[in-house]
Structure 1
């Protein structure tokens, strides 16, 4: 069978002759080579289109960039959304989208009709420049697209809520010039989880590099550097906090460039204090242990009247709800993550009663909030502990803590409730800053939750859900090394992006938060015997042992600093730049993963 696709010349100024060669492979893959010759000079590009049958639900997937409709109704953060109901491009809505390839964790586009689906897969670059992917609906038919060179239309998303004009470059052909363009077509069945087999195939076919050649430093060196960085640049003894950010430029900005705030988890707080405590005890560093304990004492001594942790401390306003617009609402993901890692700190031994009490108090609120369907809260009232809303899947964050505390029945009911979202391939609402957007962080919560449930009772349903959650999460993980311009910082240092995650369709930059579940993803690989999971976990840990400042002045940072954002595409900053802030969570999750690996 030869998959049906068409090639269209985009542009008025060049006449192109296109010949195609299609080679079938196992797994429903067809390798396609286009040989393109210009009959005359001119500017033009190519569009490859694959048209599916009629459907009202094409289930779009562009890895790391687009998930179904992508932005649910009511989400207060504006970024690209698919809709056929009077779309407004000024509001970043459209029934057709096209993106440059480096926005994609894998440059691919998936879609389905009632009978089955298909995928088009390319690489970041082609002989015509950077490639692109896209999709559209034509008379009720989903259409998958590749572009050579890329096109970004109907508008460009640059990280702001205000769209920029479309970007539609063309290639300047010389008369008689011939190029070859390669891409893959996958023919899929009706199971929409079949995207995983495609991404696994791409991963297998591009996994040749020895991981030992990627990191700048060993596990031991990375642990030593990040422990120092967390203690030296983020810890403030006078307030017993880990500041969320520390500026690279200490001379010009100093404390004024540091965010005078600490979340109790997520951007700072308990998980990272736990990592410092664990490291300090392992290496016998009393200063690290005392700092970590002071942070944990501070957080656990300041619970809300409702019995949960607060969301955030700021120097200006003290303890508060965090980044949620409702100042009485604390976020379930932040609370659940803090509880999980406080439990792990308690498990190290010699824990103050204050820590144990704080764990119990938070879990009492979580259990009291569970409804008859098993749903846990997404937001809680700081005064009463009552559930404010249950939107999204951030309640997954409670499950590992519930399991660890022996409240397994509550965790199981919650696991069954959130299973529907895992099976529908749409998890959303975990970070405080992007509201109800799907994010890689939602996947990390799901992996941690379902691995914990499986290890608690051995039920294969939990293992299946953990695998599905991991497969979805790995759609955000880059399967290739982005080609950075050599004059940029990331290009000059030869940053290898394979193993990094796109933060979310709303926040299109690479980040390292996937290290938060390094332990669980590795264990999932061990439980299943599936090297895809263990290899993916190892690639992330290798990736982010790059750009750990080895000495003062390394990439303009100070020893032990780690940035949050690596700009791999045209979003927020030009491609190849690096955010010049060290983030407590970036330092902390790398320290955590190193300690677990050591």
Structure 2
């Protein structure tokens, strides 16, 4: 970074309560004073760090005799950005929502002004929507970043960007403004919201913001976010409620006690915390269904099986074996698993709106964990099911390596090639070494690895979850990490290790680097829930979830392979985060022992900030169990 300017072009703007700019002034290196609208601001800009970030200290004093209600905004610009690339960690990636994505949430488009459709050339958000309150932008020749803390001396911060012809602007605004609309998890936006702060005469407000210039490589975000994480780690502690062994025991008991139904042998996807209000022991609110992978099914049955083998729990082994048996007993006519079982109609398609569609990520994840289960129990029916899934997906692979995203349950046609949901199959193929006599599975994995590399290198991986269509998600990051670590494990090729590292950095953009401040009377505030280590699910689903625990072992492998402890430490940090709010006894967290929620509401989306979803999810208990078993050494990836 020695060839970069110490700072990008910066300016300060004053905004009134309605958001109208009332004053603007350029600021540059060193110390100085400027008048911006109703504010006199002393500016002190420090020296850029090796990451390119410099501290911008602002000492703000109203100039008039009357109180001022309004905002102060620091803007950094990069020129030569006719086609800009944006990133707000966990919140906004490039265009963010592809034009053909069925799910509606904020999208960038140059020159657009469609607030109702959530398509705009400028966006501003409250800072707690971001895993790190920072905004990156790149043009043709370089990039720029601004960063802040969630809460400032002038109230909660906001972050955002705007496109102006050939310039890309990124900003921090205090207190926050959301513009042009507020996204609350629905396809119908809410009116734009803003926090209020009264700047009082004679009352000086001290603000600290960071800004920096970046090289053209979009991956330049990685050292910046790592530096922020390292700074925050001692300032934002995470205190787990239970030990790793106890978390494993509680999660396993929760799966067996609440989610397992021996008739016909399923892990019910969701179970309500409240067992009385709806009558019949709460069963009317429980989701009487099971996906074969992803939100239920084989992956978490595998974790339960591993736990049962390690601890000698016959109940865990019996439940896990029965679930895997049930999934393997009835394959779709096309030769893969079905997508989902429903009590009312049996095995059926995935959640995709495409008729008779089976989602590649769900099928691939089920097959991957079935192969891991075979390391613990070499059952003929499981081998048959694994071979069938592997063979038909291998045979459908396109010449360029694409494995398809949605497959027809009856005739096996690939119904969609869009996105990167086929990534999970790479790990499955790599894990089938014992079944790969002719090497065709590994060859398919390597072809797919080259095809899906374009998503990792573009810093836009999308399509993994069934329920958010083509949005970029944290789950795409997990799939990519698992895929490229698996390829490296099998081949030792430096190409795969490089992609695994790059994918891990992108995945970690979704991981919170700080503890969100909650109102003291909200559930998360009362419990003192620490968000550092939790992942934003996606720009579409803005809540924290624990699915990142699925690649705990892979991140540890990546650290071992690179000699960089960062990835293992971040994996352990996530396990620490989700050992909070684990009910060890009936009644804790308004739940029963072993019930694990899916959603922690760290921002205003779906529910008010500070709440948690009062449903236990099979995958939430399962992924915590998996990670704990991996840390305890009870499991290892198939193929090792």
TM-score range, shorter chain: over 0.9
2:55 is aligned, of 31, 36, 39, to: 31
| Corresponding position of 1:10 | 15
CA distance in 1: counterparts of 2:473 and 2:342, whole angstroms: 26
1:534–1:210 distance in 2 versus 1, CA, 3 Å? farther
CA distance in 2: counterparts of 1:39 and 1:57, whole angstroms: 40
The alignment status of 1:252 with 2:277, answered yes or no, reads yes
| Corresponding position of 1:62 | 88
The alignment status of 1:431 with 2:460, answered yes or no, reads no
SS at match of 1:185: strand
- Please give the per-residue CA displacement for 1:183-228, whole angstroms capped at 9, x wherever unaligned: 11121111111000110111111122697x6110001100110000
The alignment status of 1:562 with 2:596, answered yes or no, reads yes
Cα contact 2:7–2:48 (8 A) shared by 1: no
Once the two structures are superposed, the pairs formed by residues 434-583 of structure 1 within 5 Å of their partners are 434-583=468-617
| Corresponding position of 1:409 | 443
CA distance in 2: counterparts of 1:86 and 1:180, whole angstroms: 36
Once the two structures are superposed, the pairs formed by residues 23-422 of structure 1 within 5 Å of their partners are 23-27=46-50, 28-40=52-64, 41-208=67-234, 214-253=239-278, 254-349=282-377, 351-406=378-433, 407-422=441-456
- Range that drifts further, 39-48 or 29-38: 39-48
Aligned CA-pair RMSD: 1.2
Count of matched residue positions in the alignment of Structure 1 and Structure 2: 596
Cα contact 1:2–1:22 (8 A) shared by 2: no
Gaps of 5+ in 1: none
| Corresponding position of 2:27 | none
Q: TM-score, normalised by structure 1?
A: 0.98
SS at match of 1:421: helix
Aligned-pair CA distance for 1:242: 0.2
CA distance in 1: counterparts of 2:194 and 2:236, whole angstroms: 37
CA distance in 2: counterparts of 1:344 and 1:190, whole angstroms: 41
CA distance in 2: counterparts of 1:161 and 1:259, whole angstroms: 24
CA distance in 2: counterparts of 1:301 and 1:522, whole angstroms: 34
SS at match of 2:607: coil
- Please give the per-residue CA displacement for 1:340-378, whole angstroms capped at 9, x wherever unaligned: 0000001113x3211111110001111011111111111
CA distance in 2: counterparts of 1:153 and 1:546, whole angstroms: 34
Aligned-pair CA distance for 1:302: 1.1
CA distance in 1: counterparts of 2:155 and 2:9, whole angstroms: 25
Cα contact 1:320–1:327 (8 A) shared by 2: no
Cα contact 1:56–1:140 (8 A) shared by 2: yes
- Please give the per-residue CA displacement for 1:461-495, whole angstroms capped at 9, x wherever unaligned: 10000001001100000000000110000000000
Aligned-pair CA distance for 1:85: 4.6
CA distance in 1: counterparts of 2:115 and 2:236, whole angstroms: 44
Cα contact 1:427–1:439 (8 A) shared by 2: yes
- Please give the per-residue CA displacement for 1:426-466, whole angstroms capped at 9, x wherever unaligned: 10000000000000000000000000000111110100000
CA distance in 2: counterparts of 1:56 and 1:462, whole angstroms: 33
Q: TM-score, normalised by structure 2?
A: 0.92
